[in-house]
Amino acid sequence: MNMEKEEIWRLVFVLFLGQLVSFFLAVASFTSSLIAELGTDAPLTQSFFTYLSLSLVYGAAFLYRRQKLLVAWYWYFVLAFVDVQGNYLVIKAYQYSSITSVTLLDCWTIPWVIILTWLVLGTKYSPWQFLGAAVCVLGLGLVLLSDAGVSGGGGTKPIIGDILVIAGTFCYAFSNVSEEYCVKKKDRVELLTMLGVFGVLVSACEISIIERKDLESVKWSATMMSGATLFNLSLLTSDMWAVVIRIFFYHQQVDWLYYLAFGLVAIGLIIYSVHDSKKANGTTNEDESESLQYEQLAEESSAIYNGVLAA
C-alpha cells in the first residue's frame, strides 16, 4: 500500500513538473509574441541568453569534473548551429503568424522526430503510433488551411509564419534526435555544456550580422521610463524582502515596525510614481512646445536669409 502511494505521488510530481515546464513554455511563447507585436525583431538575441544560461550552469559542473570530451567538438558545433536556426525560425514566425498557430505547429516536431529516430536510430514504432502521428499531421494541416483563409487578427503573413515554424520544427527534430543519442550513449552534462557554449558563439556571430541594426534602434535604458530617484526608492524595498526571506525560510520573528516600514515604503512609491508620471507628461508637453518654437524661429531665420539674398 505504501509503495502504491509512493508511486502515485511520484506520478503526480512528474505531472506537476511537466505542467510547470508547459507553463514556462507558454510564457516564453507569450513573451516572444509580445516582443514581436511591439515591433522588435530580435529572435537570435532571445535565444542567446538561453544558451548562455546552459553554458554557465552546466559548464561549471563540466569543468569541475575535468573530463575529456566523449564526442568530437565539431559535432557539437553542428548540433548547436542547427538548434540555433530552429530557435531563430520559430521565434521569427511570431512576426508573421499568431501565437496559437505557432504553438500548434510547433508540435510538428513530433512527426519529424518519429521519422528521424526510425531512420537514424532504428527505433521501432507500432502501426498505431504511425496512425497517431498521421492524425497529428492532419490536424496541423487544418491549421495551415485556417491560416490561409485568415483575413485579420492572425498575423501579417500567416502562411509565411507557418512555413517558418515547420522548417524550425525540422531543425528541432534533428537537434532532439542528436541529443537523445548523446544522452543515452554519452554524457548529459557534456552535451548541455557544449550546446550552450557553441550556441552562444553561433548566436553571437549571427546577431552581429543579422540583428545588429535592430538592437541599435532599441531603447534599452530603464531610466527613460521613470527616473533615477524612483529607481533608488524602489531599491529600498530590498530590505523588506529580506525580512520576508527571514520569516519564511529561517522561521524567525521580526518586530511589527518592519511591517509598518514596508507599508510606508509601498505608499511612498505609489505617491511618488503617480506624481512623477504627471510631471513626465508635463515635461513632454513643454518639450513639444519648445520644439515648435525652435521650428518657427528656424523658418523665420530662413525667410530673412532668403530675403537678404534676393535683395
The most confident of 3-7, 18-22, 49-53, 238-242, by mean pLDDT = 49-53
Q: What is the pLDDT of residues 126-172, one digit of tens each?
A: 777 777 767 766 766 666 666 555 544 455 677 787 788 888 888 88
pLDDT at 169: 82
pLDDT at 237: 56
pLDDT at 167: 85
Strand, helix or coil at 97? coil
Contact 215, 45 (CB under 8 A): yes
Q: Which residue has the higher pLDDT, 133 or 295?
A: 133
pLDDT at 63: 85
Neighbours of 115 (CB within 10 A): 16
Is the pLDDT score of 18 beyond 60? Answer: yes
Instruction: Report the pLDDT averaged over residues 182-189.
Output: 80
Q: Which residue has the higher pLDDT, 125 or 188?
A: 188
- Percent pLDDT > 70 in the chain is 58
Is the pLDDT score of 107 beyond 80? Answer: no
Burial class (CB in 10 A: 0-12, 13-18, 19+), 281: exposed
Confidence of residue 201 (pLDDT cuts 50, 70, 90): very high
Instruction: Report the pLDDT averaged over residues 21-36.
Output: 74
Contact 166, 89 (CB under 8 A): no
Contact 48, 203 (CB under 8 A): yes
Look up residue 165 and give its DSSP letter: H
Burial class (CB in 10 A: 0-12, 13-18, 19+), 163: middle
pLDDT at 151: 46
- Percent pLDDT > 90 in the chain is 2
Q: Which residue has the higher pLDDT, 115 or 58?
A: 58
Task: Round to whole Å and give the CA distance between 174 and 177.
Answer: 5
Question: What is the reported pTM?
Answer: 0.60
Q: Which residue has the higher pLDDT, 2 or 310?
A: 2
Instruction: Report the pLDDT averaged over residues 259-283.
Output: 61
